C-alpha cells in the first residue's frame, strides 16, 4: 500500500493554496490520499473548509509530526522526485511545488475546488452590481503587513497612471478593485468614475476577511484584464483560475496584453471564471 502525500502549508492565502494545490496534483497523479496541515491562529484565522470545499484531509500537529518522521521529507524542490516511490511523502513549504516533468499545473487543482456558500454569496452579490459588461480587475496591496517588495514596486500612483491609460482606450470600462486597504478604493474612486468594490470585508486575515479575499479572487479572475501588484501570489491565483486572461503589474505583462475595444471578455459564471463569454 502506498503512503499518503502530506503537505504542511505556511504564510498567507496565496502561498498556502499554491503549495496545497501542487500537492493535490501530485497525489491525484499517483492515486494517493492528500493530507494537509493548515495552521490557524491570530495571524491567519480561517480553516480551509471555511473557504473551499475539497476532498482533502486536514491533519493536526501530532499527525503531521508522525508523517514527517515516518516519510520522505521534502521542500518545494521536487523536480528529481523518484516517481516510483511508495513511501509516504511529507512536504513543508510556502512556495509553489516544482514537480517532475509531465505533471499538471497546480491551477488544475484550484479550479476543481468549490468555494463555500458564504464566499459564493459575496461573489454573486458583487457580480450582480457589475451587470453584464466586461471590466478591469485591479488588485492593490497597501496593508501594513503586505510585503515591502510589493508595496515599493507598485505604489498607488502607478495604478492611477496605468488606469488613466486604459481609460483612454476604453473610456467607459468599469474598474473592480480588490484591496487589503479600503483607503485605496476611496483614492481610486476620487480619480475615476465607475469604481466598484466589495463592502464589509472584515478584519485582515480574520475568517470574514479571508472569505472576502477569496471572493475578490474570483471577481478578479472574472474580469477582462487584471492590473495587479508586483510579487503577488494572489494575482497568480487569479491567473490560474482564468488562464487566458491578461495580467500585468508595474514590472510589465505577466500574461496576454489587454485586448482592444470589441475583443473584451468576462466570465460566463463568476464561480467558474475560466469559462469565458464575449
Q: How far apart are CA 90 and CA 67, in angstroms?
A: 6
Average pLDDT over residues 199-225: 95
C-alpha cell at 167: 481609460
Burial class from Cβ neighbours inside 10 Å (0-12, 13-18, 19+) for residue 257 reads exposed
Rg (CA), the chain: 19
pLDDT digits (tens, 9 = 90+) for 94-138: 999 999 999 999 999 999 999 999 999 999 999 999 877 899 999
Average pLDDT over residues 208-231: 96
| pLDDT at residue 40 in the model | 97
| pLDDT at residue 252 in the model | 79
Q: What is the pTM of this model?
A: 0.94
Residue 262 pLDDT > 90: no
Q: How far apart are CA 46 and CA 148, in angstroms?
A: 24
| pLDDT at residue 151 in the model | 59
Query: Higher pLDDT residue, 136 or 143?
Result: 136
Average pLDDT over residues 210-219: 98
pLDDT digits (tens, 9 = 90+) for 53-81: 999 999 999 999 999 999 999 999 999 99
pLDDT digits (tens, 9 = 90+) for 242-260: 998 999 998 877 777 888 8
Which residues are CB-neighbours of 163 under 8 A, at least 6 positions away? 136, 138, 175, 188, 191, 192, 227
Burial class from Cβ neighbours inside 10 Å (0-12, 13-18, 19+) for residue 23 reads buried
C-beta of residue 61 within 8 angstroms of C-beta of residue 40: no
Amino acid at each position: 500500500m502506498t503512503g499518503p502525500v502530506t503537505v504542511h502549508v505556511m504564510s498567507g492565502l496565496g502561498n498556502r493554496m499554491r503549495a496545497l494545490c501542487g500537492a493535490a496534483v501530485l497525489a491525484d497523479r499517483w492515486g494517493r490520499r492528500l493530507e494537509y496541515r493548515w495552521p490557524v491562529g491570530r495571524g491567519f484565522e480561517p480553516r480551509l473548509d471555511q473557504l473551499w470545499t475539497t476532498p482533502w484531509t486536514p491533519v493536526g500537529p501530532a499527525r503531521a509530526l508522525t508523517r514527517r518522521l515516518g516519510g520522505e521529507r521534502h521542500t518545494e524542490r521536487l523536480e528529481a522526485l523518484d516517481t516510483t516511490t511508495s513511501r509516504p511523502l511529507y512536504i513543508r513549504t510556502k512556495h509553489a511545488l516544482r514537480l517532475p516533468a509531465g505533471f499538471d499545473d497546480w491551477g488544475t487543482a484550484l479550479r476543481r475546488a468549490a468555494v463555500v456558500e458564504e464566499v459564493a454569496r459575496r461573489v454573486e452579490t458583487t457580480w450582480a452590481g457589475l451587470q453584464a459588461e466586461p471590466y478591469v480587475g485591479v488588485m492593490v496591496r497597501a496593508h501594513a503587513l503586505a510585503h515591502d517588495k510589493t508595496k515599493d514596486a507598485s505604489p498607488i500612483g502607478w495604478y492611477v497612471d496605468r488606469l488613466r491609460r486604459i481609460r483612454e482606450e476604453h473610456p467607459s470600462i468599469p474598474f473592480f478593485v480588490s484591496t487589503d486597504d479600503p483607503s485605496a478604493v476611496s483614492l481610486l474612486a476620487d480619480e475615476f468614475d465607475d469604481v466598484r468594490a466589495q463592502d464589509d470585508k472584515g478584519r485582515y486575515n480574520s475568517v470574514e476577511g479571508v472569505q472576502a479575499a477569496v471572493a475578490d479572487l474570483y471577481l478578479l479572475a472574472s474580469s477582462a484584464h487584471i492590473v495587479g501588484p508586483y510579487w503577488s501570489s494572489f494575482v497568480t491565483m487569479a491567473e490560474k483560475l482564468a488562464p487566458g486572461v491578461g495580467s500585468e503589474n508595474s514590472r510589465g505583462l505577466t500574461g496576454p496584453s489587454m485586448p482592444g475595444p470589441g475583443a473584451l471578455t468576462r466570465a460566463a459564471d463568476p464561480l467558474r471564471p475560466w469559462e469565458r463569454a464575449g
